[in-house]
Structure 1
Amino acid sequence: MQPVPLERADAARNRAHLLDVAREMVAELGACNVTMDGLAERAGLGKGTVFRRFRTRAGIFHALFDEEEKRFQHRVMAGPAPLGPGAPPVQRLVAFGRARLEFLVEHTALARAALDVTQPVPGESPSLFHVQMLLTEACPDDARTGTLALQLVAALEGPVLLYLQAPEDTPDPSRLVRDLSAGWQVLAERVTAPAAARPARR
């Protein structure tokens, strides 16, 4: 296996600087008004440097979204229960769905801007492993094939939520989160309920 080449110190500084400036521009102007030319100008770097770091405009937002994603995953892996470790699996599953929906609604504009129409939609979400793990604890027989985890994650992740009403389009984004979270709780609790408590299959 070839070792992963280390990023040069100046390249790492440029990348961090560009992301800081991009984050400021998103907060000030909105994601839709951030351009590669504008980013290069405000950062005081050449446009070629921006292209080398991110390749496309969507690449800028993908990098920003990835940083937010890492913070979210840290909360899941090491934060307080029930989102973090220490709670029963069904409680953690419900808490995960609620937190994930809040996260995605909060970052809808960033997630939309990170989509590159020239690239295929990612086939595996960062939530899949975690949902599969919790389902394996809660209902191992149903979770065995992994299909249930895929179906549940489809109710949470970007490609579906990006077509829902965005927070900037509604006067009360918290209502959207509440509605989606309530539906997620019903779904999670029903699929993990003991077989005797579930509706009969037709």
Structure 2
Amino acid sequence: MTLPQPERRTRKDAARNRQAVLEAADALYARSEHPEDLTMADIAAAAGVGKGTLFRAFGDRAGLLRALYEARLEPLREAVETGPPPLGPATPPQDRVPALLDALVRFKLDNRPLALALEESGSTTGPYQAAHYDHWHDRLRSVLEEIPGLPHPGFTAHALLAATRADLVERLATEDGLPRDALRAQLAAYARRVVGTQA
């Protein structure tokens, strides 16, 4: 059944507005030194839409942050699901675990303002209730389950993911002054010890 023209136009406008909001929010968070200070009004003005459009499309600020975060994460998800080594399924699990954690920590470093804003906005439920956390925990746990004799893959996945939290990455990179390459190397060494491929 063909939709009436007005409804089709409304859907097209909504999709265009949503994309404009995501692009405006992306640009604002990328250049903001204090992302927690950005308001829905700031984002609406940058996107050229009314605040009501934002709230209808995303619900609240946390919903907008989640949508933007998920859009940026999509290429990484695809690489993990179907990509070539070292992230893709053809890589042995002992090597895939450190590669996955390295990809996540690089993502957090490259998207620090957005990742911090999302974790800090985490409402009363906290970051562990977010859908993206469940996705990465499930993915990492499934890889850990492929390693013979590794105990408690579910707990181990939680413990390893804790090392990639945006607030910890920010602390290590800024307050502790740990260079990017050193942070990545230390995380990789830790992950390899956990999965039993390095003493």
Classify the TM-score, shorter chain: 0.7 to 0.9
2:165 is matched with which residue: 144, 150, 157? 157
Aligned residues of 1:89 and 1:134 also touching (Cα < 8 A): yes
Question: Number of matched residues?
Answer: 183
TM-score of the aligned structures, taking structure 1 as reference length: 0.75
CA distance in 1, matches of 2:142, 2:123: 33
- Cα distance between partner residues in 1 of 2:30 and 2:188: 32
Once residues 117 and 25 of structure 1 are traced to their aligned partners in structure 2, the CA distance between those partners, rounded to angstroms, is 19
Over aligned residue pairs, what C-alpha RMSD do you find?
2.8
Residue of structure 2 in register with 1:88 after alignment: 92
Question: SS where residue 138 of structure 1 aligns?
Answer: coil
What's 1:36 paired with? 40
Name which of structure 1's ranges 150-159 and 12-21 shifts more when overlaid on structure 2. 150-159
The CA distance in 2 between the partners of 1:43 and 1:179, in whole Å, is: 38
- Structure 1's consecutive aligned runs of 4 or more residues displaced over 4 angstroms after TM superposition are none
5+ residue gaps in structure 1? 1-6
Identity within the alignment, %:
31
Corresponding position: 1:56 with 2:60: yes
| Runs of 5+ consecutive residues of structure 2 not aligned to the other structure | 1-9
Rounded Cα–Cα distance in structure 2 between residues aligned with 1:25 and 1:137: 41
C-alpha distance in 2 between matches for 1:13 and 1:79: 30
Q: Establish whether residue 22 from structure 1 lines up as the match of residue 25 from structure 2.
A: yes
1:132 maps to what in 2? 141
Whether 1:180 aligns to 2:183 is yes
Aligned residue for 2:158, secondary structure, equals: helix
Distance in 2 of aligned mates of 1:122 and 1:28: 23
Task: Check conservation: 1:59, 1:114, Cα contact below 8 A.
Answer: no
The structural deviation recorded for 1:109 is 0.7
TM-superposed CA distance for 1:33, in Å, is 5.7
Deviations 1:145-188 (Å, cap 9, x if unpaired)?
A: 622222222222345435x255xx58x88x2x322222222222
| CA distance 1:39–1:193, change in 2 (3 Å) | closer
> What is the CA–CA distance in structure 1 between the aligned matches of 2:147 and 2:72, rounded to whole Å?
28
How far did 1:101 drift?
1.0
Offset of 1:19 from its aligned partner? 0.8
Question: Counterpart of 2:81?
Answer: 77
Q: What CA distance in whole angstroms lies between the structure 2 residues aligned with 1:121 and 1:32?
A: 16
Which residue number in structure 2 is paired with residue 3 of structure 1?
A: none
Q: CA offset at residue 32 of structure 1?
A: 4.9
